[in-house]
Structure 1
Amino acid sequence: MLRHLKLFFLCMLAVTDMLLTCSIALKMLAIFWFDEHWIEFDVCLTQMYFIHTLCIFESTILVAMVLIALWPFASIPLHYSTILTSSMVIKLGLVGLSRALFMGLPCIILIKRLPYYTSYIIHDAYCEHMAVVKLASANTLISRAYGISVALSVIVLDLLLIASSYIKILQAVFRLSSQNARSKALGTCAAHVCTILAFYTPALFSFLTHRIGKNVSPSVHIILSSLYLLVPPTINPLVYGIKTKQIRDQVLSLFSHLKIIEY
């Protein structure tokens, strides 16, 4: 049962990564291939909403996956086989999606109300929140404050939840008598840590450089923000494809089948 729930979260993560990549990559390719260095304002806001909503939702999925994947290895008094049913997982997904949708909407509403008179050039590869807010010809304190509060609540709160979960679970793991169980749990931890670092580290640097890095060149902003969105969808299939037996077996059987057909 737990394996099916893990695969369910992996499916949600995969769909979120694909949508997140399409939200930025299609316009970036249009810029590189067709020299289309322009975007309609409403399209820009739509892109921004999808990007930030999907990032918040992915952060929620990562938090849930830490608990789902590591609970079986820890001596936690939870009957996850009866608590973590399919309906409960669907409810968790809907709660995370609702959180992302409602947290991202005020950013768009606040930006929509700002006047833009002088500059229309976004120094970024996509419509990032702070890059668009900086173009406004009015007081942007409310938009900046809300953007900071959303970023801090997502990055800091979710990272604290993940860190506290790891601390409690690792304490329980090291109390296990079986060396095999400890090795399996630590291997699962390593896979999750790789995914978490790939997602949160560029996001944190991009967040800080946009707000306190006044002397940072625009090229650095572009590189960091692009890594923040494009690297995790690239790493996640590799990490979870190797660590998840069902996915690994399917990939190996596919390659073996192709090899038989070739001969």
Structure 2
Amino acid sequence: MISWYFFALLALLLMGIQRFFYKVAAEKKYPTEWVTFSFMATVTLLSTGVYFFQQHHELNIIWLMTMSLINSASFLVATVSHIEALKYIPANIAYSIIRLNVVVVAGFSIFYFKEQISLFQGIGLLVAVAAMIVLTIQMRENTKKTKQGRRGAVFILLALLCGATASISSKFAAMHVDKLAFIALSYLMGMIGSLGITRALSYDKAKKKRSAAMGLGVVMGGFNFAGFYAFLYALECGPLSLVAAIVGMHFVIAIVLSAIIYRENIKPAGLVGIFLTVISIILIRI
């Protein structure tokens, strides 16, 4: 039997590639609402189709509806905030700070699920906080316009908190409901919700790029469906704090791809922040 660790690593790879496409959407200035809608519609269709070809347990409707609603709302806000943050802040900073939602997830799993925390894991949490401080300082130095800095910081905070909520709700779903049904319903709700975000976003939309934006969303959806299913399987078999910490490393893939393809410079402070972030993940999973 394949271990939860393998599926956590698989989710790390697939979600890392998918997160890089957030940067592509921001760089191409694609309308966020259409990228998000197409992305979530693709996952909904894939999970629904696979659901009818798989054996599954009897559905727990109450848990399914509750967890799907919480997950879809939090993930939608996290996705939109993530893409919007990248329009104001370099990818190496944004990805690193947002990834620190693992600290929130680890704290919840320790207090709620009574998962034991070692000395190294405690040190890892402190190192993660240090990484956030270093990266926040660099964000202020790199941002020329104060207004953009504040706006980017708000989007990053939303992405961090909502990302943590999505991970925690996924753990409950993996424990109590059918994974494919959860993915299908959660993303269906998110898809519907994405239709209402157009007026909420202040960024100038380019209607001519709608087709390209939806095409990118389809690609993102394929990677996310496979990655999210692997993530849920890992959560079903493994501890939330460790799985979340491993999958949280996906930001490294996105940063490397952004540096290679878009030639984003990673300054010394950014390297220190990224290094501390990686160290925090290693310590948290010990």
TM-score by length of 1: 0.30
Larger radius of gyration: 1
